[in-house]
């Protein structure tokens, strides 16, 4: 395990301040821990531009898809108890998925269908289920957008949303391709069915309370409301898009205010993207993953989760969607991406890095070679607006000795 060059670490602060000064980001923070010891923290900018409130270490942010590793871990704690296995079809838990159809290859409309098997839990976890996102291109993405199947915090509950999703066809035969999807939202509902608890109750009991993640929840905790960040977009229209970015005149246009956000009182518990929390809370989660489970889950189960579960890299499975990470040189495990080849991914890293990000540009990775946890918090939608993640990985790797 190498250390860090302090002078090179200082470049991170310059990089962060430049993003703030150029109005790419309103505010942000970076936290690095190596071998369980904090080696770097810095913050810059504002959590709320209109209110002129600074971004601080205890700022509460929307972590969106960084919820997925939490949900995946919760499911695997149930797998460890022998309650089911990963090849079980989702229809065993949600009967609405019993009689599934999928689009034929090359389909251009929703009538071009063929029968298919229900996705398995493993396919839902690894984005090979045939599900999609409403913001993804293609027939299914358009259908999901039309029916407003988005798993947003202010929509009706998880059970009716999953049942509505099951009425639509899959984008492809389960297991045949990779497409970023709401699969882990469906996994959240499976967890509720198996446990008889709400997803938040399961998270609190099995993960948050044991780790002391007291400010990570689906709704902003009452005591933290004055520390909740606003969320911005450089987009001319809504920020929930992954296509061609049509930037507006204001690079920091408010898209979700801290005082009227759906996350103040969530009505849908999204296992794919619903959590809010602090950077120190998330470090407790990544450190648990890095160090072998902290008694929450077995170290061998974690090893299994952080392996590549695909036949090769993501790009080899024909994705037509957006993802929170590169697809070349990158495999996918249970709950996050696994770096197979830094050269193919075109960003510095160690083979075996486990990582994921969120729609509001948050990001984490765990480096098993350097015993490193790295977390980046900010609030800008979409995460594809700027290449901040690759830049931060280059800065951190450049500082390693």
Residues with catalytic roles:
65
**Assigned token pair, 157:** 């509950």
**Residue 265 near residue 285, CB atoms below 8 Å:** no
CB atoms inside a 10 Å sphere around CB 401: 8
Reading phi first (left if > 0) and then psi (alpha if -120 to 50, else beta), residue 31 is in beta
CA distance 381 to 395: 22
**Residue 297 near residue 316, CB atoms below 8 Å:** no
Q: For residue 29, which of 65, 63, 2, 1 has the smallest C-alpha distance?
A: 63
CA distance 380 to 232: 5
Sign of the alpha-carbon dihedral angle for 278, 189, 182, 152: negative
The radius of gyration computed from the CA coordinates of the chain, to the nearest angstrom, equals 20
Q: For residue 210, which of 285, 303, 279 has the smallest C-alpha distance?
A: 285
CB atoms inside a 10 Å sphere around CB 52: 8
**Residue 77 near residue 296, CB atoms below 8 Å:** yes
The residue behind tokens 């409309």 is 109
CA distance 285 to 283: 5
CA distance 307 to 126: 11
CA distance 264 to 260: 7
């Amino acid at each position: 395990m190498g250390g860090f060059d302090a002078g090179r670490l200082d470049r991170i602060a310059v990089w962060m301040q430049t993003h703030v000064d150029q109005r790419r980001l309103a505010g942000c923070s970076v936290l690095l821990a190596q071998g369980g010891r904090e080696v770097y923290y810095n913050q810059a900018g504002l959590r709320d531009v209109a209110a002129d409130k600074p971004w601080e270490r205890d700022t509460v942010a929307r972590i969106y898809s960084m919820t997925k590793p939490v949900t995946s871990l919760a499911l695997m704690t149930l797998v460890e108890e022998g309650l089911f296995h990963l090849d079980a079809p989702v229809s065993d838990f949600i009967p609405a998925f019993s009689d599934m159809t999928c689009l034929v290859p090359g389909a251009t409309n929703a009538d071009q269908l063929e029968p298919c098997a229900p996705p398995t839990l493993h396919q839902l976890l690894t984005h090979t289920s045939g599900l999609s996102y409403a913001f993804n291109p293609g027939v299914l993405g358009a259908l999901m957008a039309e029916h407003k199947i988005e798993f947003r915090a202010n929509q009706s509950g998880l059970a009716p949303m999953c049942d509505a999703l099951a009425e639509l066809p899959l984008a492809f035969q389960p297991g045949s391709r990779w497409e970023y999807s709401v699969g882990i939202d469906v996994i959240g509902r499976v967890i509720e069915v198996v446990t008889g608890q709400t997803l938040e109750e399961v998270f609190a009991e099995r993960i948050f309370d044991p780790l002391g993640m007291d400010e990570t929840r689906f709704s902003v905790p009452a005591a933290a409301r004055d520390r909740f960040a606003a969320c911005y977009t450089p987009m001319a229209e809504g920020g929930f898009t992954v296509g061609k970015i049509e930037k507006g005149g204001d690079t920091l246009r408010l898209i979700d205010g801290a005082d009227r956000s759906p996350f103040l009182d969530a009505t849908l518990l999204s296992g794919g993207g619903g959590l809010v929390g602090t950077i120190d809370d998330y470090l407790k989660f990544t450190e648990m993953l890095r160090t072998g489970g902290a008694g929450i889950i077995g170290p061998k189960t974690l090893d299994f989760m952080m392996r590549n579960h695909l036949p090769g890299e993501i790009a080899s499975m024909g994705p037509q969607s957006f993802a929170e990470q590169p697809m070349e040189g990158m495999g996918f495990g249970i709950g996050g991406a696994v770096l197979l080849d830094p050269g193919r991914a075109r960003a510095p890293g160690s083979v075996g890095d486990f990582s994921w990000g969120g729609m509001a540009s948050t990001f984490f990775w765990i480096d098993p070679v350097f015993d490193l946890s790295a977390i980046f918090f900010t609030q800008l939608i979409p995460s594809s607006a700027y290449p901040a993640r690759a830049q931060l990985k280059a800065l951190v790797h450049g500082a390693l000795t």
